[in-house]
Amino acid sequence: MAIRPILHYPDKRLRVPGEPITEFDDELKELVQDMAETMYSAPGVGLAAPQIGVSLRLFIIDIAVGDEEPSDLKVFCNPEFIDRDGEIYYDEGCLSFPGATEEVCRAERVSVRAQDEHGETFELSADGLLAIAIQHENDHLEGKLMIDHVSVLRRRLLHRAMLKRSPRKAR
């Protein structure tokens, strides 16, 4: 297992949509393990493969908070939404936007169909933080970012803040 570098906005690779996963092999399982180690060390509650420069339709989520709650890592390969319902505003953060949070409007409840790292299909209905995390991470698979969900003014401010934070130019 290895901790992989997380791409930071405005890196152009964050805008590349993920390709469908067709091989559920040891290489994919190793990628999932690397992503989990990377996410936990960051720390974060979710990580999408495009955030580490891997253009696959894969994300992981673990919303267990603190040491008293057991880990509940969920792996989503090739996810697709079955249903979205309601509306909720939530202050979201993102590992690709270090130190930033923005209020984002999401569906309050979602149902999703996906495959796990073994290729087994499952369906999951979620609300609360899990529903928000699923939508946030799925956006990464589409090349969509947290900044795309805010007003033009907030977008400009966030863009400038991220440029100040990292003097490196976007690739």
Catalytic residue chosen out of the listed positions 87, 117, 137, 142: 137
Token pair of 2 as six digits: 């290895």
101-138 per-residue burial string, b: 16 or more CB within 10 A, e: under 16: ebebebbbbbbbebbebeeeeeebebeeebbbbbbbbb
Contacts of 112 (CB under 8 A, 6+ apart): 76, 79, 80, 81, 82, 123, 124, 126, 134, 138
Contacts of 39 (CB under 8 A, 6+ apart): 45, 46, 47, 60, 62, 95
Asked if 37 is an active-site residue, the reply is: no
* Cβ-contact 110, 134 below 8 angstroms: yes
Residue 105's DSSP bridge partners are 89
Instruction: List active site positions.
Output: 137
